[in-house]
Amino acid sequence: MAKRSFKFYRRNEADVMNSLGFKPTKNSGSTWIEKEDGQNDYLICQLKSTDAQSIKVNQKDIRVLEYNANNAHKLPCFAIQFLNTGEVWLMAKPIDFEEIAKYIRTGKCEVSESIVVEDQKQRKIKSIKSSENARTAFHQERERKFKKEKKAW
């Protein structure tokens, strides 16, 4: 089989996202504004397509999807498409199935509080406390370390 073109994958991705009820993102989510392959008000989705009989899903891809979903306050959903049969499968955490099913039935759902709480735990920012004395000592040490020694002739 001939290799599929980039244009085919872009069109296919948009078609699959539309069929699942997602708005396709521009440039497959590579911009800083929109992430992943498709989004709607409640869900964010990443699509992996293949002509092969199997597909490998990396844990890194799942973690990136989960991170982007937390930042957007949406539920993550991973779509896998087998191009040779046209089948599309969805993957999600078991805890999110109830809300995703509710969205599929009614078109609406509320993002659970667990996502917001989890998001707040991840966003704890460490602050570094310093003083003027510590800064001065650091700069003096750096000057001593990198000071050029004058050679006596």
Distance from C-alpha of 117 to C-alpha of 133, rounded to nearest angstrom: 38
% of the chain exceeding 90 in pLDDT = 11
Residue recorded with tokens 């003083």: 131
Residue 44: which H helix or E strand, with range? strand 43-50
Question: Above 50 in pLDDT, residue 60?
Answer: yes
Question: Above 50 in pLDDT, residue 116?
Answer: no
Q: Which of 4, 5, 68 is CA-nearest to residue 33? A: 68
Instruction: Rank 33-42, 53-62, 143-152 by mean pLDDT and report only the highest.
Output: 53-62
CA distances from 149 to 37, 42, 112, 126 (A): 58, 64, 64, 39
Q: How many CB atoms lie within 10 A of CB 153?
A: 3
Q: Mean of the per-residue pLDDT values for the chain?
A: 79
Mean pLDDT, residues 18-46 taken together: 80
The residues pairing with 41 across neighbouring beta strands, listed in sequence order, are: none
pLDDT of residue 59: 92
Read off φ and ψ for residue 93, nearest 5 degrees.
-70, 145
% of the chain exceeding 70 in pLDDT = 75
Domains of the chain with CATH codes: 6-125 (3.40.1350)
